[in-house]
Amino acid sequence: MFNHFTVLGVVLLYMGGLFFIARYIEKKSSRIKKIENNPFIYALGLAAYCTTWTYYGSVGKAATSGMLFLAIYLGPTLTIIWWWSIVRRMVRLKSTYRITNIADFISARYDKSRIIAALATVIALVGNMPYIALQFKAVLTTFEIMIGGTSSASFPGDLVVSLTMVCLMILFTIVFGIRRLDPTERHPGMMTAVAVESGVKLFAFVAAGIFVCFFLHDGVGDIFRHVARMPAAAAQLSGQAPVGVMQWLSYLALGMSAILFLPRQFHATVVENTKEDHIRTAMWVFPLYLFLINIFVVPIACSGLLNGLSFDLADQFVLLLPLRHGTPWLALCVFIGGVSAAASMIMISSMTLATMVTNHLFLPVIAHLRVSVNVQRHVLKVRWASAAGIIIGGYLFERVLYADMLVNIGLIAFAAALQFAPVAVGGLSWRRATECGAFWGLSAGFFLWGYTLLLPALVRSGWLPANIVLHGPAGVGLLRPEQLFGVIAFDPLTHGVFWSMLANIGCYVIGSLCTESTETERKIAEDFVSILQENKPTAVRSAGAAVVLPEKLVLLEKVLERFFPTAETAAIIQRGRASAGLGDKDMISVTELAAL
Residue 101 CA, chain-centre distance (Å), reads 11
Question: Hey, what amino acid is at 355?
Answer: T
- pLDDT category of residue 539 using cuts at 50, 70 and 90: very low
pLDDT (mean) for 302-308: 88
Task: Please say if the pLDDT value at position 407 is more than 60.
Answer: no
What does the buried/exposed string (b/e) look like for 164-199 if buried means 16 or more CB atoms within 10 Å of the residue's CB? ebbebbbebbbebbbbeeebeeebbbbbbbbbbbbb
pLDDT at 535: 55
pLDDT at 236: 61
pLDDT at 540: 46
Least confident of 198-207, 311-320, 507-516: 311-320
pLDDT at 569: 85
DSSP lists the bridge partners of residue 65 as none
Cβ 367 vs Cβ 360: under 8 Å: no
pLDDT at 544: 53
- pLDDT category of residue 474 using cuts at 50, 70 and 90: confident
Cβ 8 vs Cβ 142: under 8 Å: no
Which has the closest alpha carbon to 202: 323, 100, 334?
Answer: 334
pLDDT at 279: 96
Which has the closest alpha carbon to 104: 354, 358, 362, 360?
Answer: 360
- Mean pLDDT score of the chain: 87
pLDDT at 232: 66
Task: Please say if the pLDDT value at position 481 is more than 70.
Answer: yes
pLDDT (mean) for 97-109: 94
Least confident of 234-238, 263-267, 529-533: 234-238
Which has the closest alpha carbon to 127: 484, 438, 453, 510?
Answer: 453
User: Among 229-243, 484-498, 561-575, which range has the highest average pLDDT?
Assistant: 484-498
Cβ 544 vs Cβ 590: under 8 Å: yes
Residue-wise pLDDT tens digits, 208-219: 999 999 999 999
- pLDDT category of residue 173 using cuts at 50, 70 and 90: confident
Which has the closest alpha carbon to 313: 566, 60, 592?
Answer: 60
pLDDT at 84: 93
User: What's the angle, vertex CA 561, arms to CA 557 and CA 563, rounded to 5?
Assistant: 130
Share of the chain above pLDDT 90, in %: 50
pLDDT at 194: 94
Most distant CA atoms of the chain, gap in Å:
85
Q: Which residue has better confidence, 240 or 185? A: 185
- pLDDT category of residue 195 using cuts at 50, 70 and 90: very high
Residue 507, CA distances (Å) to 262, 424, 437, 490, 501 in order = 22, 14, 6, 23, 10
Least confident of 175-189, 222-236, 421-435: 175-189
pLDDT at 30: 61
Share of the chain above pLDDT 70, in %: 90
Which has the closest alpha carbon to 254: 132, 107, 410?
Answer: 410
Which has the closest alpha carbon to 116: 102, 99, 100, 135?
Answer: 102
Residue-wise pLDDT tens digits, 311-340: 778 889 999 999 998 899 999 999 999 999
pLDDT at 484: 92
- Which one-letter DSSP state was computed for residue 292? H
Separation between Cα atoms, residue 276 and residue 282, nearest integer Å: 10
Separation between Cα atoms, residue 484 and residue 135, nearest integer Å: 31
Q: What is the phi/psi pair of residue 588, to 5°?
A: -135, 165
The HSE-up count of residue 281 (CA atoms within 13 Å, CB side) is: 17
pLDDT at 29: 61
Task: Please say if the pLDDT value at position 402 is more than 80.
Answer: no
H or E stretch including 185? none
Residue-wise pLDDT tens digits, 341-364: 999 999 999 999 999 999 999 988
Least confident of 251-255, 463-467, 491-495: 463-467
Residues whose CB is less than 8 angstroms from the CB of residue 156 and which lie 6 or more positions away in sequence, other chains included = none
- pLDDT category of residue 229 using cuts at 50, 70 and 90: confident
Cβ 541 vs Cβ 525: under 8 Å: no
Task: Please say if the pLDDT value at position 253 is more than 90.
Answer: yes
pLDDT (mean) for 429-458: 94
Cβ 72 vs Cβ 254: under 8 Å: yes
